Structure 1
Amino acid sequence: MQPSRQEKASRMPDQARKIDGYVPDDDGRLLFAPRTDAMRPPGANGAETEHDPPATGEDAVDSAERQWSRELSRMPLLTAAEEIELARRLRRGEAEARRRFIDSNLKLVVSIAKRYRCSGVPMEDLIQEGNIGLIRAVDRFDPERGCRFSTHAIMWIEGQIRRNCPDLKHSVRLPARLLADVNRLGRLTEELTSKFGAKPSVEQLALAMDVPETQVRYLQQLRPETASVNEPVEMEGELLLGDLVEDDNVESPEKTAVRTAQRLEVRRALGSLSTREQLVLSMRYGIGVSRVFTLQEIGEQLRLTRQRVRQIETAALKQMRASGLLRGEGASPAFPGAGRDEGSRQRSWQPEALAA
Structure 2
Amino acid sequence: MNTAFALPVPTGHGSLEQYIHTVNNIPMLSPEEEQDLAVRQTEGDLEAAKKLILSHLRVVVSIARGYDGYGLNQADLIQEGNIGLMKAVKRFQPSRGVRLFSFAVHWIKAEIHEFILRNWRLVRVATTKPQRKLFFNLRSMRKSMAALSNKEAQSIADDLGVKLSEVLEMEQRMTGKDMSLLAENDDEDNFAPIDWLTDSSNEPTQVLAQQAHYALQTDGLQTALAKLDERSRHIVESRWLADDGGLTLHDLAGEYGVSAERIRQIEAKAMQKLRGYLAEAE
TM-score scaled by length of structure 1 = 0.40
Q: Between the two structures, name the one with larger relative contact order (CA 8 Å, sep ≥ 6).
A: 2
TM-score scaled by length of structure 2 = 0.48
Larger Rg: 1
Higher helix share: 2
